């Protein structure tokens, strides 16, 4: 069975500092990988995805994630965060055509 681990439940960071949100998954077969962001009182929104091809994927607002098959990881990074990045971030995996499995989420708090 697939599972997703996000070791950090909360990550406080100062504005303009770099951040890494960790995600590890377990699966014996290939999967699709996703990061979702949830702002307060809103639904989850897709941030970026890895389906195939280049292992480094980027979002339009400066986040990037790298698929590492050997370490079964898909960590999310941003070199310089803004106050507006404060949100909860969820890593998710999907076995081809099957259910999505979400991690427990990491609450990113960007401090002034």
Residues in contact with another protein by the rule CB under 8 A: 32, 34, 36, 42-46, 49, 51, 90, 92, 96-97, 99-100, 102, 104-105
Q: How far is the CB of 59 from another protein (least distance, A)?
A: 12
Q: Are 104 and 7 in contact (CB under 8 A)?
A: no
- Angstrom CA distances, 17 to 35, 59, 63, 78, stand at 20, 18, 13, 9
Q: Could you say which DSSP state residue 21 is in?
A: E
Which of 15/95 has CB closer to another protein? Answer: 95
Residue (19 or 33) nearer to another protein, CB? 33
């Amino acid at each position: 069975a697939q599972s997703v681990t996000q070791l950090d439940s909360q990550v406080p960071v100062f504005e303009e500092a770099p951040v890494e949100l960790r995600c590890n998954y377990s699966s014996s077969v290939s999967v699709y990988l996703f990061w979702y962001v949830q702002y307060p009182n809103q639904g989850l929104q897709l941030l970026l995805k890895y389906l195939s091809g280049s292992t480094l994927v980027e979002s339009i607002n400066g986040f990037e994630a790298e698929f590492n098959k050997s370490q079964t990881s898909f960590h999310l990074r941003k070199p310089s965060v803004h106050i507006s990045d404060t949100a909860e971030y969820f890593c998710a995996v999907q076995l081809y055509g099957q259910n999505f499995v979400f991690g427990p989420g990491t609450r990113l708090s960007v401090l002034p």
